[in-house]
Amino acid sequence: MTSPGDLVYLPAETMLLQYNREVEELDLDPNKTYIGPAPIKYKKLEKPANLLLIEEECRNNCSKVWFEGEEWYVKR
């Protein structure tokens, strides 16, 4: 079990996503699947990384991590 502040291991080729801040603040039901919104930025890890976990399970089966000075979402 992980909690905020822990380091989490992400393998190479993991996709990191960012969304518009306004969308992040919407109160969406985590038990439903939503088609939108699309991410505004994405990155694929070239090599494995240990990243700081900010929030576990914060949007549609995603966790929030800290990478290169920014908050990113990653699928669990």
DSSP percent split of the chain into helix, strand, coil, nearest 5: 5, 45, 50
pLDDT tens, 35-54? Answer: 556 788 999 999 999 999 99
How many domains does the chain fold into? 1
pLDDT band at 70 (very low <50, low <70, confident <90, very high): very high
In a domain, 20, yes or no: yes
Long-range contacts of 31-38 (CB under 8 A, 24+ apart): 33/60, 34/60
Domain containing 51 equals: 7-25+38-75
**Residue 38 · residue 48 · CB < 8 Å:** no
In a domain, 30, yes or no: no
pLDDT tens, 7-41? Answer: 999 999 999 999 876 655 556 666 655 555 678 89
